[in-house]
Structure 1
Amino acid sequence: MGSLGAPPDLMSLEFVVDPYPIYRAWRDEHPLIWHEAMGAYIISRYDDVNRAFREFSSENYSWQLEPVIGRSILQMEGREHSVQRALVAPAFRGKDLQGKFLPVIRRNAEELLEAFRADGRVDIVGQFTTRFPIGVIVDMLGLPKSDHALFHGWYSVMMAFLSNVVGDPEVTAAGLRTTAELRAYLTPVIKERRRNPGDDVLSTLCTAEIDGERMTDEEINAFTGLLLIAGGETSDKALASMFKNLVSHPDQLQAVRADRSLIARAFAETLRYSPPVRIILRTVKEETEMSGGTLSAGKSVACVIGAANTDDRRYADADSFNIFREDLDVSRAFSAAANHMAFCGGRHFCVGAVLAKAEVEIGANLLLDAMDDIRFPDGYTPTDEGLFSRAPASLLLEFTPRAA
């Protein structure tokens, strides 16, 4: 590898502006990098990232995530993880999702849409995507609609904490304050739901039981924080990126408008081509050989989903957005059998994937129903932002309003 020169840096301006050429350079020339400043290996090929998600541990969350939400299902392994997953999963799939929460998702989307549908111009991020999933989560938890803005603020601070790669002390302090505020808010609500459960996710978490085990107050607090971060981030950034991708490819946008069943394809391809979360850390359990060399036990590994999902060893014309590609299995794209890495993989596959799919499909359908001739304003070029997660920070769209 020495003859190839130093690998492009994760922290460079070039990576911030456009990571895709660097993804390619990593995969082709530097498939294994030790990044001293981050204290982690970087892996970028599809097969290596896929293997890491299935074989490596998630111990890294003890320092990466636990300070801001508490110890969560992400850190758990073995039976503890299996029990926790069995306790929380029913609330996010099957009859509960179909019967109780699809109307909640639709109502939240319609309320946000009503504020701009007649304007002919919208920042789809600021006015819709960043608020939509948080409103859904608050309503699913059975909490007051008046607290939507409060939870959106907590979500924003938590995401800043997770993205704080430079260790800004003010961002860290704000994250820790948010943790205390969220727990102070939720703990009395949890105790009340244990006494008087209702027909909501928080009550389900309070009363669910597997082999005599129930979630503790602290575990419910942690899962709620995780739900805000993971549930908000995926739907928010994926929906924004999907509209950016479709408006950038008018022929594909028109195909989706004409055949709404293609929304699932557009979402799956967005998860592959421009995944909301670009890097997830794992911890090496034992010395392991991968492309490019040996990883030492106990070290952190940055699994670069953005690079793995655009690996031309796995996908044809991988750097192109194409909802009609044949090498992405849409039928499995929102399950643990997905052949993209956006929802992670293995035992820690995203428990909210089906919820995210429902949110994106409902939100996209309603937006397309309300807006004709969707386009970028003249002279406007949308840009993505972010290192560990990435999407447009704003996305200006012009459109011709359609009658309600």
Structure 2
Amino acid sequence: MPATPVVDPPFSILSEDFAADPYRYFAGLREQAPVHYEPALDSWFLSRYEDVRRVLTDHRAFTTETLQVRAEPVMRGPVLAQMAGAEHTAKRKIVVRGFTGPALEQQVRAVRANAAELLAPFLPRGRMDLVNDFGKPFAVRATLDVLGLDEQDAEPITEWLGGVSEFITSLALTPERRRHCLDCAEQLEAHLRPVIEQRRRRPGGDLISQLCTAGSGGTGTGTAMSTREVTALIINVLVAAVEPADKTLAQLLKQLIEHPEQLAQVRRDPALLPAAIAETLRRTPPVQLIPRQVERDAVFAGTPVPAGATVFCMIGAANRDPAAFTDPDAFDIHRPDLGTARSFTAAAQHLAFGAGLHQCAGAAFARAELETVAALLLPLLDGVRLAPGFRYRESGLYTRGPVALPLEFTPVRATDGTFRHLG
């Protein structure tokens, strides 16, 4: 393990060094600057597990008001995380219902079919980039299926969604990039509007139809949602489902490849796969920062933070806090302090899905999606290894994941036009 770096006063979370490898700074932040002030953003960064969980679970003292500026302009309306009371309960229930029960069973079948189709061209070659060849297109297609959007539109939707995500996850945007992101959001909204109108007239079994026909309303009174409300929730689901999927899948394979004894155990006992996914989410969460606004003066680790300030919860640092997890930098699928059974629920010990009122509504779908794809991949990628000469690199501060993950494996021979284990 490298020596823990000292977090000096000039240290900045916006520095190139931090962007290149934030993990090496987490211990220093927790120990020396657990309430780090970033002057360029006029914001505070919290790195201790105790402080992060406190902020995420006390939604009255630490609100999501910052999302009015950070998300609403590109979501084209308020998102779930901005809501509370009857409105939040009603709308969250619709989204959660769209990712559980019979709907989830149907989605799992679609996930498997999409994954199999995307994998097929690469299996006889014995090599692929798990992020760019498979992960990114798969994440988009799987989410379009859930919503009931045409996969033929995947390319423009991916481009527009990239602008939306950039707006939400960038800590600093130039005027030109801001305009680009807003243009993307407007085009995505224009694309969705006729789809919503069509689903109102002829609803199907997809999530957009459920949103269009549900009598939830903004006050929970039974009034149907407006087109603006439905649009915001659709974009909310698109961002939440697409953004983390490829990152976590790539991290899972990378961790298992780097820990061959644990990879062998998962291959022998697929029941260990949920634990491997949960440990991946803990150790390398795709969402690294969650912002909140301080409603009244607060104190963290002896440091006063004034009312009205923005605090960023550092999920990656909190998930590696030794006060919450033993030997937290290690990857260990047998970790006794993780609790696999609760890792995808509101009782999760890790904070990769957030915590409290605004915990991720799609956690059950994320688990099913990742389990389904990993269960398909592992038997096919015999002898899987990182490509020779590959230099691993990650990108992103708000959300983070591998830039690429080129893999080599034993080519899979076709038999009667099909591939073994596939389908």
Task: Report the counterpart of residue 257 of structure 2 in structure 1.
Answer: 247
Within the candidate set 74, 89, 96, 1:89 is matched to 96
Secondary structure at 1:301's aligned position in 2?
strand
Secondary structure at 1:209's aligned position in 2?
coil
Within the candidate set 286, 290, 300, 2:300 is matched to 290
Deviating above 4 A after TM superposition, structure 1's stretches of 4 or more consecutive aligned residues are none
* 2:45 equivalent to 1:42: yes
Percent identity between matched residues is 39
What's the offset of the Cα at 1:7?
6.4
* 2:80 equivalent to 1:77: no
In the alignment, structure 1 segments of 5+ residues that lack a partner are none
Q: Counterpart amino acid of 1:6?
A: P
Secondary structure at 1:33's aligned position in 2?
strand
Secondary structure at 1:241's aligned position in 2?
helix
Mark the CA change 1:378 to 1:391 in structure 2 (over 3 Å): closer, same or farther.
Answer: same
Task: Report the counterpart of residue 385 of structure 1 in structure 2.
Answer: 395
What's the offset of the Cα at 1:340?
0.6
Q: Counterpart amino acid of 2:19?
A: V
- State the alpha-carbon separation in 2 of the partners of residues 382 and 259 from structure 1: 28
Secondary structure at 1:231's aligned position in 2?
helix
Please, what TM-score do these two structures have when normalized by structure 1? 0.96
* 2:28 equivalent to 1:12: no
Secondary structure at 2:383's aligned position in 1?
strand
Q: Write out per-residue CA displacement over residues 348-386 of structure 1, whole angstroms, 9 at most, x where no aligned residue.
A: 010011111111111111111221001012222322111
Q: Counterpart amino acid of 1:85?
A: R
Q: Is the 8 A contact 1:121 1:397 kept in 2?
A: yes
* 2:290 equivalent to 1:280: yes
Q: Is the 8 A contact 1:278 1:305 kept in 2?
A: yes
What's the offset of the Cα at 1:83?
1.9
What's the offset of the Cα at 1:395?
0.6
Instruction: Kindly report the root-mean-square deviation, in angstroms, between the aligned alpha carbons of the 2 structures.
Output: 1.6
More moved, 124-133 vs 305-314: 124-133
In the alignment, structure 2 segments of 5+ residues that lack a partner are 1-5, 414-418
Secondary structure at 2:382's aligned position in 1?
strand
More moved, 299-308 vs 229-238: 229-238
More moved, 360-369 vs 168-177: 168-177
Mark the CA change 1:4 to 1:184 in structure 2 (over 3 Å): closer, same or farther.
Answer: closer
Aligned residues: 401
Q: Is the 8 A contact 2:126 2:409 kept in 1?
A: yes
Task: Report the counterpart of residue 184 of structure 1 in structure 2.
Answer: 190
Q: Write out per-residue CA displacement over residues 151-186 of structure 1, whole angstroms, 9 at most, x where no aligned residue.
A: 222222222223332312332122111111111111
Q: Is the 8 A contact 1:279 1:305 kept in 2?
A: yes
- State the alpha-carbon separation in 1 of the partners of residues 35 and 302 from structure 2: 5
The residue correspondences of 1:299-314 to structure 2 (distance < 5 A) are 299-314=309-324
More moved, 15-24 vs 122-131: 15-24
More moved, 178-187 vs 343-352: 178-187
Q: Is the 8 A contact 2:163 2:185 kept in 1?
A: no
* 2:370 equivalent to 1:360: yes
More moved, 327-336 vs 174-183: 174-183
Q: Is the 8 A contact 1:208 1:214 kept in 2?
A: yes
Mark the CA change 1:4 to 1:277 in structure 2 (over 3 Å): closer, same or farther.
Answer: closer
Q: Is the 8 A contact 1:8 1:26 kept in 2?
A: no
Q: Is the 8 A contact 1:133 1:359 kept in 2?
A: no
Secondary structure at 1:122's aligned position in 2?
strand
Within the candidate set 228, 239, 246, 1:229 is matched to 239
Secondary structure at 1:373's aligned position in 2?
coil
